[in-house]
Amino acid sequence: MAEQDDHPAPEVERDEDHQPLNRQLISRIMYALETGDREMLWAEMEPLHAADIADLLEQSNAYDRRRLIALYGQEFDGDILSELDESIREEVIGLLTPEVLAEAVRDLDSDDVVDLVEDLEDQQQEAILSALEDSDRTLVQQSLTYPEYSAGRLMQREVVMAPEHWTVGDAIDFMRNAEELPEQFYHIVLVDPRLHPVGNVTLGRIMASRREVALKDIVEETFHTIPVTRYEGDVAYMFNQYHLISAPVVDEEGRLVGVITIDDAMAVLDEEHEEDIMRLAGVGEGGLNDSVIETSKQRVPWLAVNLGTAILASAVIALFEAQIAQLVALAVLMPIVASMGGNAGTQSLTVAVRALATKDLTGSNVWRVLMRETTVGLINGLIFALVMGVVGMLWFGGPELGYVIAAAMVINLVVAGLAGAAIPVIMDRMGIDPALGSGTFVTTVTDVVGFFAFLGLATVFLL
Amino acid sequence: MAEQDDHPAPEVERDEDHQPLNRQLISRIMYALETGDREMLWAEMEPLHAADIADLLEQSNAYDRRRLIALYGQEFDGDILSELDESIREEVIGLLTPEVLAEAVRDLDSDDVVDLVEDLEDQQQEAILSALEDSDRTLVQQSLTYPEYSAGRLMQREVVMAPEHWTVGDAIDFMRNAEELPEQFYHIVLVDPRLHPVGNVTLGRIMASRREVALKDIVEETFHTIPVTRYEGDVAYMFNQYHLISAPVVDEEGRLVGVITIDDAMAVLDEEHEEDIMRLAGVGEGGLNDSVIETSKQRVPWLAVNLGTAILASAVIALFEAQIAQLVALAVLMPIVASMGGNAGTQSLTVAVRALATKDLTGSNVWRVLMRETTVGLINGLIFALVMGVVGMLWFGGPELGYVIAAAMVINLVVAGLAGAAIPVIMDRMGIDPALGSGTFVTTVTDVVGFFAFLGLATVFLL
């Protein structure tokens, strides 16, 4: 049960030194770059996966990136573009010669091309689309008609399907004779005559069965189809919840239009997480590769909101100026109550935001969760009231200040628990992402309540 | 480029109402429970996936959970236990009759049994192990000898392998005649005579090839083996980075001992996210199903750390008691500087923690990132210095207070950017999870610097 505390166990091995993109390799690559030694560069980069080359480009500064791409030349592969962070994709595409770019995109699957072009400016988009073969271009353009962040943008159009009456032997013969099969596929989708998917057969089951077995007798137990307009985050959730490997995508009439595989769903899950964690911290998109100006722009809005709420909290303090002038110890102690409330509120908030994201917090348990967070706030409030009461007493040499800070602590931690859990739930019900700015709202509540409770109680009982 | 801002696009469909576990179903299930109607309960729960039943149990309170399990009886499936959150797994296992438990675990794959028993107390662990067949029990006990959170715990022992000299026809005949194949598999692992994996062949390539083709001629280009002691988080990263579907696991001698599939890697990625986000907020394990006392215990440690740092910040304020008594406006304005610093620091911190987790922040770009965060701090500091300077001036009717708060703002936001990025990097170098408590350290720095800069400058220039 104490799993995560002692994590990772000491015997477990971390792979810091086994990274393909390690310091030694990077310095050899930089050496090749400095000396303009193209052969050496190619040799050093040969064993790297496209994802590692993309990381290398991301971690380089703009100057090295330009030199690297120029020297690497025609070896530049389309997969590198797919793996690149969006923040520098446009820059890198702009650095490629038209020939290299055309060559690079031609081998990509349709879903990767869609992912590549959807955020590009018109001119670059056109350059890539015109490099494709006609049939591929049509597929990509069709996918682009689906809404952003939908299953339609995520799916690949290359599907292996079979009529529902086929046998294992039919399927094997079909695949042996197929001119082109998708690079990765794990299921054959069974369809009825109107192209509605009726089941999934794993390749493993096909291989393990005799040729005369009917495909519909070996379909998988769990079968889900995905509407083409479904939000990609829900698709990722579904894959994770039901351990899907691939799932067919259907249009409004229920006809098979594509297939989504788990590796794409995993990438979406990772992006969703990035978004949650960044939004909770009030950081817009926040890539490491954005420019200083870009980054500053992304962060200013939430800092501005925070300034507004901080001024609000100050206004509360201003109500008690006369009391503070009378007893300066109040000014010394008041940030403690606010800080503890902010911390406790953030704890409740994070648990609630995460539970909403994983659909563990629903209509059926929301009251129990609110109740629980409030009760935890009460218990922790009492614990720290005791501690802080004693500290206040010792520090300022009298029991009264201790009583007041203890009472304010209890009030603020109860409010923190309630607000921390309730604010994300309310935002979610209103259709707003609960990760977005709820931290600021919760700390506003705990600042205002903290200062008001402490200074107010002090005014009543001390002065 | 502005992707995440307008996300999700309005046309994209959310699946709130398509959840299998919706309110209507839950109320029918509760009705069956109230009336003790076992047939109805079975009928209503029949279409639910084990993961949904686990969610239902998690969202119920302890009383309903007990009744539900009693009425559901022998229908209880082993997969439900695998899907259950660890926080209530022990409780649920304790509610099952020995017969139901034995029946439930017997169908699970070895990796699922390992995941199930590794955190149980000895008595429950024994009950489950003794329900297994001898050969399965041996596999599970072997896996349990690998360290926690290692690839060895994650892998399944059931592997489909083939000698490297086999042809497609050999492989197909072997699979057709195999008595038992794993429920899910996507590759055949080619091994040399010493059982060292030498390549992966996807089932799709096998199906698409003629019987006489040699397996080693159709191996996948990307091939990674995973040491059995490798940390599971690194395994998940590897799957996501290289779009792996399954990968062989090898022991110290390089011999094949198991295989990890992407669905397990995806679950680990999700757990790692949970851990990151919870640790950043100072919430221990923090499940929704932990008791109030359990939850309070998890949160008290970080609240205690926060209290310590808040007292430290108060001690800084105490240094300036005389000045505050002279000019109470200082007490009113001082939380603003601290709050802005805390917010800006959290922004830098979150970007750094996330970049470390995704291995985007490495030795090769750390100086550039520190420089960037500090510069962003400077720019945002200047922006809000201007705003707050004007506010301070208008609010308190004189320019001097405005200058002081503006200068303190610049200082604190620069420090926030630097500390926010540097603290996680330093923790990471020291081998400590950078998500763990770095938030508290950063806000300690910004509180202390914020109060000291503002009150110190005020002392020098105003009084």
pLDDT digits (tens, 9 = 90+) for B400-438: 899 999 999 999 999 999 999 999 999 999 988 898 878
Task: Tell which CATH architecture fits domain B17-145.
Answer: Alpha Horseshoe (1.25)
Percentage of chain A lying above the pLDDT 90 cut: 56
Which residues of chain B neighbour A340 with C-beta distances below 8 Å? 303, 306-307, 310
**CB-based contact A333 B344, cutoff 8 Å:** no
Contact with chain A for residue B94, Cβ under 8 A: no
User: Each residue of B119-132: pLDDT tens digit?
Assistant: 888 888 888 888 88
Three-state DSSP at A231 gives strand
Once rounded to an integer, what is the mean pLDDT over residues B247-258? 95
**CB-based contact B277 A363, cutoff 8 Å:** no
pLDDT band of residue B183 (cuts 50, 70, 90) is confident
**CB-based contact B1 A295, cutoff 8 Å:** no
**CB-based contact A9 B314, cutoff 8 Å:** no
Suggest the residue from B235, B244, B269, B328 to mutate for an interface test with chain A (most A CBs closer than 10 A). B328
User: Each residue of A318-376: pLDDT tens digit?
Assistant: 999 999 999 999 999 999 999 999 999 999 999 999 999 888 888 888 999 999 999 99
Per-residue pLDDT, B4: 42
**Which has the closest alpha carbon to A105: A72, A84, A76, A134?**
A76
Percentage of chain B lying above the pLDDT 90 cut: 56
Cα separations in angstroms, A367 against A373, A374, A442, B60 = 10, 11, 19, 12
Which residues of chain B neighbour A363 with C-beta distances below 8 Å? 23
CATH class of the domain comprising B292-462: mainly alpha
**CB-based contact B234 A383, cutoff 8 Å:** no
Which residues of chain B neighbour A310 with C-beta distances below 8 Å? 335-336, 339-340
Q: Which residue in A4, A150, A185 is closest to B12 by CB distance?
A: A150
Name the residue of chain A whose CA is nearest to B377's CA. Answer: A296
DSSP A14: P
Tell me the pLDDT of chain A averaged across its residues.
Answer: 89
Three-state DSSP at A126 gives helix
**CB-based contact B350 A283, cutoff 8 Å:** yes
User: Each residue of A91-129: pLDDT tens digit?
Assistant: 899 898 888 888 888 888 888 888 888 888 888 888 888
Per-residue pLDDT, B352: 93
Which residues of chain B neighbour A292 with C-beta distances below 8 Å? 372, 375-376, 379
Three-state DSSP at A159 gives coil
**CB-based contact B295 A339, cutoff 8 Å:** no
A213 Cβ partners below 8 Å, 6+ apart? A167, A168
Whether the pLDDT of residue A170 is over 90: the answer is yes
Contact with chain B for residue A102, Cβ under 8 A: no
**CB-based contact B12 A243, cutoff 8 Å:** no
User: Each residue of A173-229: pLDDT tens digit?
Assistant: 999 888 888 878 899 999 999 999 999 999 999 988 999 999 999 999 888 999 999
Name the residue of chain A whose CA is nearest to B239's CA. Answer: A263
User: Each residue of B264-316: pLDDT tens digit?
Assistant: 999 999 998 888 888 888 887 667 778 888 889 889 999 999 999 999 999 99
A112 C-beta neighbours (distance < 10 Å), count: 19
Contact with chain A for residue B80, Cβ under 8 A: no
The C-alpha atoms of residue B407 and residue A176 are separated, in whole angstroms, by: 74
Whether the pLDDT of residue B261 is over 50: the answer is yes
Per-residue pLDDT, A460: 94
pLDDT band of residue B74 (cuts 50, 70, 90) is confident
Percentage of chain A lying above the pLDDT 70 cut: 96
- Our CA-based measurement puts residue B131 at a distance from the nearest CA of chain A, in whole angstroms, of 22
CATH 1.10.357.20 placement within chain A: 292-461
Per-residue pLDDT, A15: 61
Contact with chain A for residue B394, Cβ under 8 A: no
A225 C-beta neighbours (distance < 10 Å), count: 18
Instruction: Please report the beta strands in A69-164, taking only residues with DSSP state E, as ranges in sequence order.
Output: 161-163
pLDDT band of residue B23 (cuts 50, 70, 90) is confident
Query: Chains A and B: how many Cβ contacts under 8 Å?
Result: 431
Once rounded to an integer, what is the mean pLDDT over residues A403-418? 96
Contact with chain B for residue A359, Cβ under 8 A: yes
A246-250 sheet: strands from edge to edge: A226-227, A246-250, A256-261
Contact with chain B for residue A68, Cβ under 8 A: no
| CATH number for the domain whose boundaries are A292-461 | 1.10.357.20
Which residues of chain A neighbour B239 with C-beta distances below 8 Å? 266
**CB-based contact B359 A275, cutoff 8 Å:** no
Q: Which residue in B61, B343, B369 is closest to A368 by CB distance?
A: B61
Regarding an ipTM greater than 0.90, the answer is no
Interior/surface letters A263-285, b for 16+ CB within 10 angstroms, e for the rest:
bbbbbbbbbbbbbbbbbbbbbbb
Which residues of chain A neighbour B364 with C-beta distances below 8 Å? 23, 26, 59-60
Q: What is the dihedral of CA B226, B227, B231, B235, to 10 degrees?
A: 0
* φ, ψ of residue B400 in degrees (nearest 5): -60, -45
Per-residue pLDDT, B9: 43
Give the type of residue at A70: A
Q: Can you say how many angstroms the Cα of residue A199 is from the centroid of all Cα atoms in its chain?
A: 31
**CB-based contact B49 A241, cutoff 8 Å:** yes
Q: Which of A279-288, B73-82, B309-318 has the lowest mean pLDDT?
A: A279-288
| CATH number for the domain whose boundaries are B161-280 | 3.10.580.10
Which residues of chain B neighbour A401 with C-beta distances below 8 Å? none
Which residues of chain B neighbour A112 with C-beta distances below 8 Å? none
* φ, ψ of residue B290 in degrees (nearest 5): -70, 155
Contact with chain B for residue A346, Cβ under 8 A: yes
**CB-based contact B317 A325, cutoff 8 Å:** no
User: Each residue of B337-359: pLDDT tens digit?
Assistant: 999 999 999 999 999 999 998 88
| CATH number for the domain whose boundaries are A19-145 | 1.25.60.10
Per-residue pLDDT, B286: 63
The C-alpha atoms of residue A323 and residue B108 are separated, in whole angstroms, by: 68
- Our CA-based measurement puts residue A97 at a distance from the nearest CA of chain B, in whole angstroms, of 22
Contact with chain B for residue A94, Cβ under 8 A: no
CATH 1.10.357.20 placement within chain B: 292-462
- Our CA-based measurement puts residue B51 at a distance from the nearest CA of chain A, in whole angstroms, of 6
Q: Which residues does residue B188 pair with via DSSP β-bridges, in sequence order? A: B201
CATH 3.10.580.10 placement within chain B: 161-280
Interface of B with A in 6-65 (CB under 8 A): 7-15, 19, 21, 23, 26, 49, 51-52, 55, 58-61
In this structure, what token pair is assigned to residue B380? 């945002």
Per-residue pLDDT, A281: 86
**CB-based contact A14 B231, cutoff 8 Å:** yes
Q: Which residue in A61, A204, A270 is closest to B181 by CB distance?
A: A204
What is the residue-wise DSSP string for B156-176? BS---EEETT-BHHHHHHHHH
User: Each residue of A129-154: pLDDT tens digit?
Assistant: 888 888 888 888 888 999 989 999 99
**CB-based contact B148 A391, cutoff 8 Å:** no
In a 10 Å sphere around its CB, with 0-12 CB exposed, 13-18 middle and 19+ buried, how is residue A2 labelled? exposed
Residue predicted with more confidence, B438 or A388: A388
CATH 1.25.60.10 placement within chain A: 19-145
B299 C-beta neighbours (distance < 10 Å), count: 25
